[in-house]
């Protein structure tokens, strides 16, 4: 069975075609990514294809995600790949979806209702879904939701202490994000350690070049996570502030006359590492400046690290202990210094890093970087969201009874 | 007697204390405040000293207690923008007090002073520099209490306590992390709304929520009131509710609120331990110790997980004294805010110097 998977980022579109026999045997036969989609800048947008040893890179104007999807679907047709199933990543399924769903008139209506919940991601995912449905009308398609993995978060952890009628009217509650990544790395970690999922207390740090979050996972199920109703709360991210006093929003509007939309942009697009450093949203650039004694870089780096540590500390207590700490996504997998600083002074919860192993683990393979005497295993686990989407599709189509969560 | 003045705009709360005898009352602000208070507390004798509470001292008020004179007023005025209604009232009262009681000692008690020593990585928000320069940062609060808790633990502990998690339990619960007497982290941020949900405050929520509320047509005043006065336990239960009730009532709805509160406290304690890189003691201070004992036991047993997982061994029983054999000590300390302030004033009355803005 051939499963085409679309994974929209805010300015990218990743895609993969898996040739799957069952949940254990799914091989990638085509993959690629559209870069800088809809980004206005000097550098051009381009589309990559990796197919049967062939590497192709087309520099082409990509004004939006739908256009990128058209080109991918054209390439698939040109190469005569017969698709059996199409899976789409949809970031925020609100409280409508607690698992993947086949797309039909009914589910499409619900997707539309979810658009405002993730204004950066949901509309572009829907545009790709609509293009794909139009282009492949006879192929079954489904959506997999980042928020679904967090549907196991208990009420006391997802409830905001707001008046009930207000929370209900607007749907204010913690939803959480990066669920596909957490589902994947949790299973990979359990598999790597040879410990059944239902005996693991795991804290996972998804540290990306854009968004980042932390999740507390017990028995393979999420019990808390750092993002909230929107992806803004939690960690210091590339351009997102993470946690701030909610009264700050009120104060800025009342005192400085900000429009709410401007503040959404300010907190999501101009804050975080960019706001702290003043010149870069990339933690790697900030690390380069550390040795030059750049105070802004130092503050940005320290805050980035401390915020992650705080969430790990919270989740150690929420989980009543931690067996495994997982680092994933681009920064989590490739940046040893970030891991080293986060894991410093963590003996209190039984965590000791092996500096040497940690230093070596940057090549994108799964690795245990904890010291022999550490009670907590520290794992570097590359994530593969597309595979989670594919496996969920197999389950939906009855080819596997393996749950994605 | 010693007089304590607590601004609660538009009214003020005062306490007259002379040894074990005390009087208190509330009154609207007017030019006759001093006459009114002296008359009401006349049975406690003449006013020897007055303590004025300043809830928000901005970045420049770095002493928790400082002596006041006429020269202090100019510097005090600089703090108005941080908490306009409260601080304006405090300043008006200081001015009247200095005039009405020229023979008395006057002290400013500042609740944010302790936290002016927070490290930059804690006091900053990850927002653009121009906004941080405007003073949009984390100031903390309830500093008088946490400084006092630190001192109490030092006087009670048998083994040295360097790293302390200091928990004030009450209708406005807040938690601080203190390392060798210096603040390292606190749950209160720009305002007291951030942090643990309170009797009427929402605590940590997604900061985009006020923006959605504004877009849907609410005014700033309405949003501000919603988050600080109509949320928390009161908002969740749909009626006025104190922490006592939340911890004691058995019905299902209250139990749910209790879970939300416990979850927030546990979460913040964990975060603060991580900031300190470990913990020697956790101290709870509250006005009505007995009513909170069950809650403290619950929290300490949940922290007990660390014993097995990490070799940390908190005492299961919450006692008044630490026990030298175990790595993490739990303290419960009876707290009387008025008494604490009177003690601070008494200690400082006999000291010269440290004038505010002199």
B127 to chain A: which residues are within 8 Å by CB?
241, 244, 248, 266-267, 271, 275
Nearest to B220 among A164, A244, A250 (CB): A250
pLDDT value of position B288: 86
For residues B139-158, give the mean pLDDT: 94
Same domain, B96 and B181: no
| Residues B197, A161: C-beta atoms closer than 8 Å | yes
Same domain, B253 and B318: yes
pLDDT value of position A147: 86
pLDDT value of position B355: 64
Tell me, yes or no, whether B289 lies in a domain: yes
pLDDT value of position B5: 95
Residues A2-152, CATH architecture? 2-Layer Sandwich (3.30)
Backbone region of residue B260 per phi and psi (left: phi > 0; alpha: psi in -120 to 50; beta: other values): alpha
The verdict on B141 touching A (C-beta cutoff 8 Å) is no
| Residues B190, A247: C-beta atoms closer than 8 Å | yes
User: Are A2-152 and A195-380 the same fold in CATH?
Assistant: yes
For residues A80-106, give the mean pLDDT: 93
pLDDT value of position A340: 98
pLDDT value of position A95: 84
- The rounded percent of chain A whose pLDDT value lies above 70 is 98
Does this complex have an ipTM over 0.90?
yes
The verdict on B129 touching A (C-beta cutoff 8 Å) is yes
| Residues B309, A160: C-beta atoms closer than 8 Å | no
Same domain, B156 and B294: yes
The pair of three-digit structure tokens given for residue A83, joined into one six-digit string: 């698709």
pLDDT value of position A118: 79
- Rounded Cα distance between B201 and B204, Å, is 9
| Residues A228, B205: C-beta atoms closer than 8 Å | yes
Any idea of the CA torsion for A34, A38, A39, A40, to the nearest 10 degrees?
A: 130
- Rounded Cα distance between B118 and B79, Å, is 18
For residues A294-319, give the mean pLDDT: 97
Name the minimum distance, in Å, from the CA of A284 to any CA of chain B. Answer: 17
- Rounded Cα distance between B24 and A254, Å, is 36
pLDDT value of position A402: 47
Roughly what angle, to the nearest 10 degrees, separates helices A179-193 and A385-396? 90
pLDDT value of position A253: 92
Backbone angles phi, psi at A33, to 5 degrees: -155, 140
Least confident of A168-182, B220-234, B289-303: B289-303
Single out the residue in B85, B110, B135 at which a domain terminates. Answer: B110
pLDDT band, very low/low/confident/very high, at B312 (cuts 50, 70, 90): very low
pLDDT in tens, A245-271: 999 999 999 999 999 999 999 999 999
Nearest to B303 among A273, A303, A317 (CB): A317
Judge whether A328 and A206 are in contact, CB under 8 Å.
yes
For residues A297-302, give the mean pLDDT: 97
pLDDT value of position B322: 47
Q: Which 318-347 residues of chain B touch chain A by CB within 8 A?
A: none
Name the minimum distance, in Å, from the CA of B347 to any CA of chain A. Answer: 36
Same domain, B216 and B294: yes
Name the minimum distance, in Å, from the CA of A312 to any CA of chain B. Answer: 7
- The rounded percent of chain B whose pLDDT value lies above 90 is 74
A283 to chain B: which residues are within 8 Å by CB?
none
Same domain, B148 and B106: no
pLDDT value of position B157: 84
Backbone angles phi, psi at B23, to 5 degrees: -140, 155
Higher pLDDT, B320 or B79: B79
10 Å CB burial of residue A106 (0-12, 13-18, 19+) is: exposed
Name the minimum distance, in Å, from the CA of A156 to any CA of chain B. Answer: 5
pLDDT value of position A343: 98
Domains of chain A, residue spans: 2-152, 195-380
B126 to chain A: which residues are within 8 Å by CB?
236, 240-242, 244, 271-273, 275-276, 300, 303, 307
Whole-model pTM: value is 0.92
pLDDT value of position A111: 96
For residues B298-319, give the mean pLDDT: 59
| Residues A322, B211: C-beta atoms closer than 8 Å | no
What amino acid positions of A are annotated as catalytic residues? 146
pLDDT value of position A172: 93
Nearest to B273 among A246, A252, A313 (CB): A313
Same domain, B91 and B218: no
Least confident of A178-182, A332-336, B158-162: B158-162
- Rounded Cα distance between B119 and B101, Å, is 39
pLDDT value of position A22: 83
pLDDT value of position A249: 93
Name the minimum distance, in Å, from the CA of B315 to any CA of chain A. Answer: 16
pLDDT in tens, A210-223: 889 999 999 999 99
| Residues A162, B138: C-beta atoms closer than 8 Å | no
| Residues A229, B233: C-beta atoms closer than 8 Å | no
A252 to chain B: which residues are within 8 Å by CB?
131, 136
Q: CATH no. for residue B74?
A: 3.30.420.40
pLDDT value of position B352: 63
Same domain, B79 and B207: no
CA distances from B197 to A60, A166, A396 (A): 51, 16, 41
| B contact test, residue of A165, A238, A348 with most B CBs within 10 A | A348
pLDDT value of position B353: 55
pLDDT value of position A381: 97
Mean pLDDT of chain B: 90
Least confident of A325-329, A389-393, B36-40: B36-40
Single out the residue in B62, B93, B110 at which a domain terminates. Answer: B110
| Residues B207, A249: C-beta atoms closer than 8 Å | yes
pLDDT value of position A386: 94
pLDDT value of position A400: 61
Nearest to A345 among B136, B185, B277 (CB): B277
CA distances from A251 to A254, A256, B108, B211, B223 (A): 5, 8, 27, 11, 10
CATH domain A195-380 topology: Nucleotidyltransferase; domain 5 (3.30.420)
Judge whether B223 and B210 are in contact, CB under 8 Å.
yes
Question: Does pLDDT of B310 surpass 50?
Answer: no
pLDDT in tens, B64-73: 999 999 999 9
For residues B17-33, give the mean pLDDT: 90
Count of domains for chain B: 2
Inter-chain Cβ pairs, chain A and chain B, closer than 8 A: 257
| Residues B275, A249: C-beta atoms closer than 8 Å | no
- In which order are the strands placed within the sheet that holds B174-179? B182-186, B174-179, B163-168, B281-286, B329-334
Range of the domain at B10: 2-110
Same domain, B64 and B151: no
For residues A316-337, give the mean pLDDT: 95
Same domain, B74 and B182: no
pLDDT value of position A207: 96
Name the minimum distance, in Å, from the CA of A263 to any CA of chain B. Answer: 8
Q: Which 157-216 residues of chain B touch chain A by CB within 8 A?
A: 185, 189-191, 193-194, 197, 201-216
| Residues B309, A316: C-beta atoms closer than 8 Å | yes
Backbone angles phi, psi at B185, to 5 degrees: -165, 155
Closest Cα in chain B to A350: B310
pLDDT in tens, A5-25: 999 987 889 999 999 988 788
For residues A319-327, give the mean pLDDT: 95
For residues B250-270, give the mean pLDDT: 96
């Amino acid at each position: 069975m051939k499963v085409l998977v679309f994974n929209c980022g805010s300015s990218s579109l990743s895609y993969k075609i898996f040739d799957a026999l069952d949940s254990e045997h799914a091989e990638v036969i085509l993959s690629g990514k559209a870069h800088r989609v809809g980004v206005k800048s000097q550098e051009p947008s381009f589309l990559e294809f990796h197919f049967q040893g062939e590497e192709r890179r087309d520099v082409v104007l990509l004004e939006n995600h739908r256009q990128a999807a058209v080109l991918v679907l054209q390439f698939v047709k040109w190469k005569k790949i017969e698709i059996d199933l199409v899976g789409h990543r949809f970031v925020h399924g609100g409280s409508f979806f607690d698992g993947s769903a086949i797309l039909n008139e009914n589910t499409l209506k619900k997707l539309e209702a979810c658009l405002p919940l993730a204004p950066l991601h949901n509309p572009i995912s829907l545009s790709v879904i609509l293009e794909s449905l139009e282009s492949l009308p006879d192929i079954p398609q489904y959506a997999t939701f980042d928020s679904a993995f967090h549907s196991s978060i208990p009420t006391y952890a997802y409830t905001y202490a707001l008046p009930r009628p207000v929370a209900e009217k607007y749907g204010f509650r913690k939803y959480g994000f990066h669920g596909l990544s957490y589902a994947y790395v949790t299973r990979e970690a359990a598999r790597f350690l040879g410990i059944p999922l239902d005996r693991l207390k795991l804290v996972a740090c998804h540290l990306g070049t854009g968004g980042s979050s932390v999740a507390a996972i017990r028995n393979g199920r999420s019990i808390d996570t750092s993002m909230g109703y929107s992806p803004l709360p939690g960690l210091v991210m590339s351009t997102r502030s993470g946690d701030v006093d909610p009264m700050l929003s009120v104060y800025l509007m009342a005192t400085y006359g900000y429009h709410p939309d401007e503040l959404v942009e300010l907190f999501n697009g101009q804050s975080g590492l960019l706001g702290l450093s003043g010149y870069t949203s990339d933690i790697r650039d900030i690390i380069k400046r550390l040795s030059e004694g750049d105070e802004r870089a130092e503050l940005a780096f320290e805050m980035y690290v401390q915020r992650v540590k705080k969430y790990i500390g919270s989740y150690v207590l929420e989980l009543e202990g931690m067996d495994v700490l997982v680092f994933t996504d681009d920064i989590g997998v490739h940046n040893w210094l970030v891991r080293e600083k986060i894991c410093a002074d963590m003996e209190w919860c039984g965590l000791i890093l092996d500096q040497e192993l940690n230093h070596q683990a940057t090549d994108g393979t799964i690795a245990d970087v904890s010291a022999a005497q550490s009670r907590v295993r520290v794992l570097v686990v590359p994530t593969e969201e597309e595979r989670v989407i594919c496996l969920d599709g197999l389950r939906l189509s009855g080819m596997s009874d393996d749950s994605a969560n | 007697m010693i007089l304590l003045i607590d601004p609660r705009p538009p009214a003020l709360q005062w306490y007259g204390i002379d040894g074990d005898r005390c009087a208190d009352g509330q009154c609207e602000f007017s030019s006759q405040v001093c006459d009114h208070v002296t008359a009401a507390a006349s049975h406690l004798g003449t006013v020897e000293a007055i303590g004025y509470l300043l809830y928000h001292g901005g970045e420049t008020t770095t002493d928790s207690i400082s002596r006041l004179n006429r020269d202090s007023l100019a510097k005090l005025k600089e703090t108005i923008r941080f908490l306009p209604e409260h601080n304006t009232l405090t300043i008006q009262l200081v001015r009247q007090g200095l005039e009405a009681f020229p023979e008395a000692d006057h002290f400013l008690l500042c609740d944010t002073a302790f936290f002016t020593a927070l490290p930059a990585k804690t006091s900053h928000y990850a927002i653009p520099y121009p906004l941080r320069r405007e003073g949009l940062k984390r100031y903390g609060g309830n500093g008088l209490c946490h400084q006092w808790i630190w001192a109490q633990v030092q006087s009670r502990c048998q083994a040295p306590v360097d790293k302390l998690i200091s928990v004030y339990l009450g209708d406005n619960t807040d938690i601080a992390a203190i390392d060798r007497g210096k603040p390292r982290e606190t749950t209160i941020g720009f305002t007291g709304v951030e942090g643990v949900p309170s009797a009427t405050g929402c605590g940590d929520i997604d900061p985009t929520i006020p923006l959605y509320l504004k877009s849907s047509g609410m005014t700033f005043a309405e949003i501000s009131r919603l988050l600080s006065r109509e949320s928390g336990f009161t908002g969740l239960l749909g009626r006025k509710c104190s922490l006592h009730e939340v911890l004691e009532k058995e019905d299902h709805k209250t139990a749910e609120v209790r879970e939300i509160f416990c979850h927030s406290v546990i979460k913040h304690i964990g975060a603060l331990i991580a900031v300190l890189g470990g913990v020697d003691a956790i101290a709870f201070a509250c006005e009505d110790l007995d009513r909170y004992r069950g809650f403290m036991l619950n929290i300490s047993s949940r922290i007990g997980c660390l014993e097995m997982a990490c070799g940390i061994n908190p005492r299961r029983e919450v006692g008044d004294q630490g026990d030298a054999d175990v790595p993490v000590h739990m303290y419960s300390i009876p707290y009387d805010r008025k008494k604490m302030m009177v003690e601070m004033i008494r200690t400082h009355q006999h000291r010269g110097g440290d004038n505010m803005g002199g």
